[in-house]
Structure 1
Amino acid sequence: MLTPDTIIRPNSALNYSVTFIMEQVLGHVTHYQNLRQATLATPNVQARWVEVTYRQPGGWVERIPKVPAPLKGYAIGQTQTGKGLWHGRHDDLVFFHTQKPAALYGQLPRRRPWVLSLDVTPIQYDRMGDLYNELGDSPGLKSRAKYAVNKRLFKSANLIVGWSDWVRRSLIEDYEIEERKIAVIPPGVDLNRWTLANSAPLNSAEGTPHLPRLLFCGGDWERKGGPLLLDWFKRYGREVCELHLVTRHKFTDSEKKGVGSNLFIYNNLNSNDPALIELYHRADLFVLPTRAECFGIALVEAMAMGLPVITTTIAAAAEIVQDGVNGFLIEPQDAATLQQRIETLLQDSTHRQKMGESARLRAFSHYDALKNGQLLLNRLAELL
Structure 2
Amino acid sequence: MAKAALLTLEPGLGGVPALARTVYRMLTRVDHSPQVIYRASGDVPTTSKWAMLKYFLSTPPLRALTKDSMPAIAVADYPLPPRYQYHLLRLAGSELTAPIAVAVSGSSHVGLPLALADRPYVLWVATLYEEELKGRAIAGDEWANAFMQHRDWPILQAQEQLVYEKASVILGLSPTTTEQIAARWPALKPKLRTVVYPVDTRLFVPNNSIADPPYLLLTARIRDPRKNVGLLLRAFAKVHVEFPRLRLVIAGDEPLPATQALATQLGVDSWVDFAGHVSIDHLVQLYQRATLFVFPSLQEGLGISILDAMACGLPVISTRCGGPQGIVENGVTGLLIPNNDEAALTQSICELLGQPAQLKAMGRAGREKIEEQFAREHIEAELHAAFADAFGNVY
SS in 1 for 2:52: coil
Match of 2:120 in 1: 113
> Structure 2 length normalisation: TM-score?
0.78
Q: How does 1:298-377 map to 2 (within 5 A)?
A: 298-377=305-384
Q: Does 1:183 align with 2:183?
A: no
SS in 1 for 2:340: coil
1:348 offset after TM fit, Å? 1.5
Cα 1:335–1:254 shift into 2, 3 Å: closer
Cα 1:176–1:97 shift into 2, 3 Å: same
On the 8 A contact 1:239/1:262 being kept in 2, the answer is no
Q: How does 1:1-40 map to 2 (within 5 A)?
A: 16-24=2-10, 26-40=14-28
SS in 2 for 1:151: helix
On the 8 A contact 1:38/1:370 being kept in 2, the answer is no
On the 8 A contact 1:21/1:52 being kept in 2, the answer is no
Amino acid at match of 2:244: E
Q: How does 1:121-270 map to 2 (within 5 A)?
A: 121-130=128-137, 131=139, 133=141, 134-136=143-145, 137-138=147-148, 142-197=152-207, 210-220=212-222, 222-237=225-240, 239-246=244-251, 247-250=253-256, 251-252=259-260, 255-257=263-265, 258-259=267-268, 261-269=270-278
Aligned mate of 1:64, from 53, 61, 77: 53
Amino acid at match of 2:110: P
Number of paired residues? 354
1:259 offset after TM fit, Å? 1.7
Which stretches in structure 2 are left out of the alignment for 5+ residues? 57-76
SS in 1 for 2:43: coil
Q: Using the aligned pairs only, state the percent identity.
A: 19
Amino acid at match of 1:245: I
Higher relative contact order (CA 8 A, sep 6+): 1
Provide the alpha-carbon RMSD of the alignment: 3.2
Quote the Cα distance in structure 1 between the aligned partners of 2:38 and 2:149: 33
Amino acid at match of 1:86: S
Cα 1:154–1:107 shift into 2, 3 Å: closer
Quote the Cα distance in structure 1 between the aligned partners of 2:114 and 2:193: 23
1:141 offset after TM fit, Å? 5.5
On the 8 A contact 1:48/1:88 being kept in 2, the answer is no
Quote the Cα distance in structure 1 between the aligned partners of 2:91 and 2:200: 30
Amino acid at match of 1:225: N
Quote the Cα distance in structure 1 between the aligned partners of 2:104 and 2:178: 16
On the 8 A contact 2:293/2:314 being kept in 1, the answer is yes
> Structure 1 length normalisation: TM-score?
0.81
On the 8 A contact 2:19/2:104 being kept in 1, the answer is no
Quote the Cα distance in structure 2 between the aligned partners of 1:125 and 1:143: 14
Quote the Cα distance in structure 1 between the aligned partners of 2:144 and 2:250: 28
Quote the Cα distance in structure 2 between the aligned partners of 1:56 and 1:72: 16
Amino acid at match of 1:232: A
Per-residue CA deviations over 1:291-331 (Å, capped at 9, x if unaligned) read 22221111111111110000111111111111101000111
Quote the Cα distance in structure 2 between the aligned partners of 1:192 and 1:331: 33
SS in 2 for 1:322: coil
Q: Does 1:49 align with 2:59?
A: no
On the 8 A contact 1:307/1:356 being kept in 2, the answer is yes
Which stretches in structure 1 are left out of the alignment for 5+ residues? 1-14, 203-209
SS in 2 for 1:178: helix
SS in 2 for 1:71: coil
1:16 offset after TM fit, Å? 5.0
1:342 offset after TM fit, Å? 0.8
On the 8 A contact 2:174/2:301 being kept in 1, the answer is no
Amino acid at match of 2:370: A
